[in-house]
Amino acid sequence: MKRVKRAFRYRFCPTDAQAAELSRTFGCVRKVYNMALDARTEAWTRQERVDYNQTSTMLTAWKRTEELAYLGEVSSVPLQQALRHLQVAFTNFFGKRSRYPRFKSRKKSRRSAEYTTSGFRFREGKLTLAKMAEPLDIVWSRPLPEGAKPSTVTVSQDAAGRWFVSMLCDDMITPAPPTRGAVAIDLGITSLVTLSTGEKITNPRHERKDRARLAKAQRELSRKAKGDGANRAKARRKVARVHARIADRRRDFLHKLTTRLVRENQTVVIEDLTVGNMVKNHTLARAVTDAAWTGMRTMLEYKSAWYGRELVVVDRWFPSSKLCGVCGTIRAKLPLAVRTWTCDCGTVHDRDVNAAKNILAAGLAVSVCGAGVRPQREPSRTGQSAMKQKPPRREP
Ligand SMILES: [Zn+2]
């Protein structure tokens, strides 16, 4: 058995007072985050850096001003956490792992507040947040582990108006039996993923129907006149509800898939699709796939750590689809519409399966020999590093 941190997420029904308190808190979290970002950006243009401690001092000063005194009315814990999140965002930016942090928008950003132990009480299975008299009315869809005590609690509300509480707890995991298997995953649009074993996993069966429903709801929303407030709000909620259902189903599906892949294999190889590398493509299918991919990578990362497996990340510019896995020839062009192709050496390739096999070969080379091994580079992309390795997060 192995001790790991695990998040348990539940829905809850707030009282009117709790809903009001949380809405106020979400607003303050956003305000503090944006003001701190503003201060750090302003310093950045002067080639100076503002760190977490300095923003924390600023927060104290803001609360003392008349126009921002309301920040002192909500729990200070989520506000401090917002500053910590901003610190992480900057650390990722300086480490070239993500873009420059962006402002939280009232409409588009996730409404959430994070509480550490000083901001909540957990007793006899009841969770009470700071500034609240009553515990939250949580729908316990599954039990917390025996004797679990949350170390962090995150409360959020999605666009469909549903309330969630996520509790980070210590949990025990049974290690997966040792295996020598290795698998690579190629991300697709027609199939959600293709495995190097040749297996193609399509989008969950509800997805097509859900998308049709979403398109219909969006058409209805765009038909509502701008002035017609009530009907427009109703149409917008409808769109949000369909979105929420799609997201829920996809999360369930990805959990099952990633658990299976990690349990069955010692090494899992994926392509790097970090935000910085992402190609701008605004089609709906692409946006949906990118979101799924980000979620899937996160799951693969922590599940590999849980089960003592290795996750290898191969650079995206590795020419996985155009490289013949048999003879090593790289094709100059391979339009996206071409699903199968024949190499000069006579091998007939399924585009996605070939790509997955190449990703596997590249990943295993990295895994065995370290990052010094480079596969052939795509001629048009010389100068780009062809591969990079994310060190596997293995615990002793
Ligand atoms: Zn060939």
What is the pLDDT, as a whole number, of residue 107? 79
**Contact present, 28 and 71 (Cβ < 8 Å):** yes
Residue 350 has pLDDT above 80, yes or no: yes
Residue 156 has pLDDT above 90, yes or no: yes
**Contact present, 262 and 309 (Cβ < 8 Å):** yes
What is the pLDDT, as a whole number, of residue 371? 45
Residue 252's alpha-carbon distances to 4, 139, 142, 243, 245, in angstroms, are 20, 18, 14, 14, 11
What is the pLDDT, as a whole number, of residue 288? 59
Looking up tokens 């420059």 gives 100
> Strand locations in the chain, DSSP E?
2-13, 111-116, 120-123, 126-129, 137-139, 152-157, 163-173, 182-187, 191-195, 200-202, 267-271, 310-314, 340-342, 348-350
Mean pLDDT of all residues belonging to the chain: 84
Structural domain including 161 reads 2-173
Residue 79's alpha-carbon distances to 38, 103, 115, 281, in angstroms, are 16, 15, 9, 35
- The better pLDDT of the pair 56, 254 is held by 56
- Tell me which residues have their CB within 5 A of the ion that is ligand 1: 324, 326-327, 329, 343, 345, 347
Instruction: Tell me, in angstroms, the distance from the centre of ligand 1 to residue 331's CA.
Output: 9
What is the pLDDT, as a whole number, of residue 394? 38
Instruction: Tell me, in angstroms, the distance from the centre of ligand 1 to residue 201's CA.
Output: 26
Instruction: Tell me, in angstroms, the distance from the centre of ligand 1 to residue 300's CA.
Output: 32
Q: Is position 353 within any domain?
A: no
Q: Is position 200 within any domain?
A: no
Q: Is position 329 within any domain?
A: no
Q: Can you say how many angstroms the Cα of residue 377 is from the centroid of all Cα atoms in its chain? A: 29
What is the pLDDT, as a whole number, of residue 267? 94
Instruction: Tell me, in angstroms, the distance from the centre of ligand 1 to residue 313's CA.
Output: 25
Q: How confident is the model at residue 311 (pLDDT cuts 50, 70, 90)?
A: very high
Amino acid of residue 353:
V
Give tens-digit pLDDT for 314-333: 876 677 788 898 898 888 88
Query: Taking the model in full, what pTM does it have?
Result: 0.75
- The better pLDDT of the pair 300, 287 is held by 300
Residue 304 has pLDDT above 60, yes or no: yes
Residue 286 has pLDDT above 80, yes or no: no
- The better pLDDT of the pair 244, 52 is held by 52
Q: Is position 338 within any domain?
A: no
Q: How many domains does the chain have?
A: 1
Structure-token pair, residue 235? 């149409």
In degrees and rounded to multiples of 5, residue 246 shows phi and psi of -60, -45
Instruction: Provide the percentage of residues in the chain whose pLDDT is more than 90.
Output: 44
| d(C-alpha 371, C-alpha 394), whole Å | 17
Q: Is position 140 within any domain?
A: yes
Give tens-digit pLDDT for 218-242: 888 888 766 667 888 888 888 888 8
Instruction: Tell me, in angstroms, the distance from the centre of ligand 1 to residue 322's CA.
Output: 10
Instruction: Provide the percentage of residues in the chain whose pLDDT is more than 70.
Output: 84
Give tens-digit pLDDT for 90-110: 998 988 878 899 999 987 788
In degrees and rounded to multiples of 5, residue 188 shows phi and psi of -130, 180
Give catalytic residues, as residue numbers.
Answer: 186, 271, 352
Q: How confident is the model at residue 244 (pLDDT cuts 50, 70, 90)?
A: confident
What is the pLDDT, as a whole number, of residue 392? 38
Q: How confident is the model at residue 387 (pLDDT cuts 50, 70, 90)?
A: very low
Q: Is position 327 within any domain?
A: no
Sheet holding 2-13, edge to edge: 111-116, 152-157, 163-173, 2-13, 137-139
| d(C-alpha 382, C-alpha 379), whole Å | 6
Q: How confident is the model at residue 56 (pLDDT cuts 50, 70, 90)?
A: very high
Q: Is position 369 within any domain?
A: no
Q: Is position 122 within any domain?
A: yes
